[in-house]
Structure 1
Amino acid sequence: MTKTIAVIGATGAQGGGMVRAILADPSGEFGVRAVARNPQSAKAQELAAAGAEVVQADLDDEESLRKAFDGVYGAFVVTNYFAQRDEADVAARSAADMELEQAGNAARAARDAGVEHVIWSTLADTRPHFGDTDRVPTLDDGRYKVPHFDAKSEADELFRQSGVPTTFLQTTLFYENLTSDLGPVRDENEQLVLTLPMDDAPLNAIAVGDIGKTALGIFRRGDEYVGRTIAIGGDKLTGAQLVAVMSDVLGEPVTYAPHGWDDFRSFGFPGAVEFGNMFQYYAENHEQFSNDRDLALVRELNPELQTFREWFATHHAELAR
């Protein structure tokens, strides 16, 4: 009998990758229920045309989630800290509070619907690394160092408290960021320069599509990873190694000239301080962050796991240059 997996955020990056991984699985072991806030959207309709069952639910509406989870075997749950919100919602709660509320709704709904296995897409908590020092700014009313990391980690406990069987899938930076907002740009001499603020530390990153494929590998293992945290990545490269790959694939030199963390925090765009803190965490904590990620296990769960070179070779045209 086919086991159905409900996918929250099915029209987004991670959720969409999860839906596509299930639809592409030749074993037919799993079916997919794509959960979307607007089932009539173009992206939702594309999933329906590809073979997904599309249903409506909203992470802010626990009852709608319970209905969406009714009768499914598993659920892939992801929340979007950076979701577009109206002014009233922004005034009423922080993005971190939104995520905590939504995660709690999903955890309770999955429990009440009798879901046998939830995979919760989460992130590491940066606060143990930074401690109580003020060497990086504290944000969100003094609660977090990197709110979009720390709040997701805090939400882990909501799944534990609910009692729903859960695997905690701890993700990392996407390769896709390296061809978009964090990718190399041309300087005054028209030379491509990567300014990623990682100093000389290696960065763990992954293709967003590989998150869903890895999650599917976890679902295939039944309850083997229930109650466990699986930290994932696809490749680990320093800035110098990243630009070496980029230069080779693009056929032109790309230089690595990293911003300092304080410089990055001072740029003034929304999220500059938070992302400066994030990169400082990535760089300073790179040994522990890497040790937490067993890439051999990730490749066992997802034999199609892409290295950065493999991914960039087929996606370099997405680089704005």
Structure 2
Amino acid sequence: MANRKIIAVFGATGAQGGSVARSILENKHFALRALTRDVSQKKALALRDLGAEVVRCDLDDAASVEEALKGAHGAFVVTNFWDHLSKEKEVCQGKLVADIAKRLGLKHVVYSGLENVDRLSGGKLKVLHFDGKGEVEEYFWSIGVPMTSVRLAAYFENFLTVWKPVKSPDGYYTLALPMGDVPMDGISVADVGTVVSSIFASPEEFVGKAVGLSAEALTIQQYADVLSRILGKDIRDAKITPEAYEKLGFPGAEELANMFRFYHMKPNRDIKLTHRLNPQIRSFSQFISDNQEAFKDL
């Protein structure tokens, strides 16, 4: 480990951070410092067994962030809006890491960012879990941290949980995602780690850039067709509108309706580049084939 440059990975026991951590361990180009709030949890111990240095780090504790980044060459930074539902808190966490990365002289930060939709739409659309990350992106660059932002498409994993097909009274299943006939970019979060590792390996190409990631873009009916074929069920696009979606009444319904409205604007997600950075990236069809067990209760 002493011979290799250290990449500190925030949220190393979560979905994005875990994917990045595993990829760094596998390609052996860098040494992994896995950052997590609970170093005794099972996933943290598993990373240690694979050769990672596991360090306690809490994004709300400046001293722990500073200690975690000391001696690191670079860092992968991910924040989780859904932990606390506060844009302000997410911005504070991101800016804290940026300030410490600047002070310690990190050579390359890869930040899991997204667009500032509020600014891009002239205040017409607020998507808090995007907007905060957009503010943090801008801050990293404004203070001169060598940073690459990766902007992920919708997670394929959502189709296993919150976007799982729902049975209609008529016996078929529906996908209620308000995209109309506009294709929606998607990616498996498990495949993101290899992309991020490739970016760390090519700083000269990516520092100072925002990179939109997507495995492929399908209409909701095309997503439904893939699910129908693999699962042997009749699954259809529910053809719900954003206006109807935001009235569904679950926590975050309006936030997500605005996200889909932003997706209608076709934000830049580069399928060709994503495949270059991870040649093994899975299509939606391959992802569902690998995860059929999640649908056994349909």
For the superposition of Structure 1 and Structure 2, which TM-score range results when normalised by the shorter chain?
Answer: over 0.9
- 2:285 aligned residue: 309
Q: What does 1:80-119 align with in structure 2 at a 5 Å threshold? A: 80-83=80-83, 85=84, 95-119=86-110
User: 1:172 offset after TM fit, Å?
Assistant: 2.0
Distance in 2, Cα, partners of 1:312 & 1:220: 30
- 1:30 aligned residue: 30
CA contact (8 A) 1:7 1:77 kept: yes
Q: What does 1:127-276 align with in structure 2 at a 5 Å threshold? A: 127-128=118-119, 130-133=121-124, 145-276=126-257
CA contact (8 A) 2:153 2:269 kept: no
User: 1:51 offset after TM fit, Å?
Assistant: 2.3
Distance in 2, Cα, partners of 1:197 & 1:279: 6
List alignment gaps of at least 5 residues for structure 2: none
1:256-280 deviation digits (Å, cap 9, x = unpaired): 1122111111111110110111112
User: 1:128 offset after TM fit, Å?
Assistant: 4.8
User: 1:119 offset after TM fit, Å?
Assistant: 0.2
CA contact (8 A) 1:123 1:172 kept: no
- 1:16 aligned residue: 18
CA contact (8 A) 1:66 1:112 kept: no
User: 1:105 offset after TM fit, Å?
Assistant: 0.9
Distance in 1, Cα, partners of 2:175 & 2:43: 32
1:216-253 deviation digits (Å, cap 9, x = unpaired): 11011133211111111111000111111111111222
**Amino acid in structure 2 at the alignment position of 1:67:** E
Distance in 2, Cα, partners of 1:111 & 1:38: 26
Pick one of 5, 8, 19 that aligns with 1:6. 8
**Amino acid in structure 2 at the alignment position of 1:95:** S
After alignment, is 203-212 or 124-133 more displaced?
Answer: 124-133
RMSD: 1.6
User: 1:112 offset after TM fit, Å?
Assistant: 2.1
CA contact (8 A) 1:111 1:164 kept: yes
User: 1:132 offset after TM fit, Å?
Assistant: 4.3
Distance in 2, Cα, partners of 1:196 & 1:317: 22
Scaled by the length of structure 2, the TM-score of the pair is 0.94
